[in-house]
Structure 1
Amino acid sequence: MQFHERLISLRANEQSAEVMKINRELQQSLEELQVMSKVLLQQNEEMTVAYEIAQLERQRYQDLFKFALDGYLITNTTGSILEANHSAATLLSVHQNYLVGKPLIVFIARSDRHEFITRLNNLQHLQEWEINLQLRDSTSFPASIRVAAVYDSQDYLVGWRWLLCNISERKRAESQLRQNAFYDALTGLPNRALFIERLKHALQQAKR
């Protein structure tokens, strides 16, 4: 009888020890889950903050793009317009929606199209040059073009971002300055400065 009781007691102790072991393992697992839960919660909060910041930056970019005073365009790698802001539409005297899907080259003066195609085929990073833009009524005006590459998340070139500025006033001012520098204000005749300038040019040509 005593042996039987001792056996029962021994089994009870073993079961109790096993239960305690299981409880310790469960407690440890619970603590690990709590730690992981806190980590996941923190990561989720960080992702939420990052998303909100990204959305604010995106909205800021969209506002800058839409309401910038200069014309902004985004094209694919072949030069077809994907996006255009209001200023670009105003600059080219067309409706904003009309620009989307159009090749940018149709707004380049015919005399400059060969140069434009050459530059477009050789674009790499950031470039800036002057060119004549042409409206639908065939009138044209000088413009400054600034081009930057657009890459996707895999660093593949997916398009170009264009900044267009009408420089007609600047060109007129430069012409007026040249007129004042090389021609007499009263008679309109070439002055000594123009003579020297042309002489220098002739000497340079002769050296070649």
Structure 2
Amino acid sequence: MVGRKQFDVDEALRHAMHVFWRWGYSEASIDRLTEGTGLGRSSLYSTFGDKSALFRKSLQRYEQTYHPLYSQALSGSHPNPSAVVAAYLQVTLNRIADPTVPDGCLVTVSATQFPALDAEGRAMVRAMIDGVRAMLEQALLAAGADEQEAAELALCALATNKSLAVLSRAGFSSEELATVAAAAARIPQDTDPATGSRVPRAAHRGRGAVRHRQKP
């Protein structure tokens, strides 16, 4: 039929997302995008707009694919903050282990190329990061962290997520990445040596400050 697209638009967008994911915005040339999607330049532009518009659509596709997985992992019942961090990072490890997608993370590689993005692209990347950070904080609060602890642990878990993405692109093994994630999940497990119970991180800081003041 005249005017009807002879290709799967959603599948083409998935492939475009993989090109941006693998190469980053700067190196995702139009030639690479046409090769990755199997579309000619005219079809690519008429369907998705220019490169910046296609990048934003790819970000939206990535968010629709992976953020629900983080939301599901974080919305369950967790016995403690450590379990929250572990559940969050397991989603990351699962994605990295998926052989059908590029290594790393589209959001992470995009964040490293902020100067190359337009204002709307930068805003989308930051909003996606902030959205996951907010989910983490809420889950940590629900698992018993106080507000300051939740904010600190969410930022630490987020940083670990980005580190895993970078290390995976550098060829670190799944075992090494799992070791990083397990170590990060142990961070909330501060305990009082006298009672064996978990102590809020703020309390640790307070005791450390007292000891510091008592030094001669």
- TM-score, length of structure 2 as denominator length: 0.24
> More strand by proportion, 1 or 2?
1
Give the number of the structure whose alpha-carbon radius of gyration is greater.
1
- TM-score, length of structure 1 as denominator length: 0.25
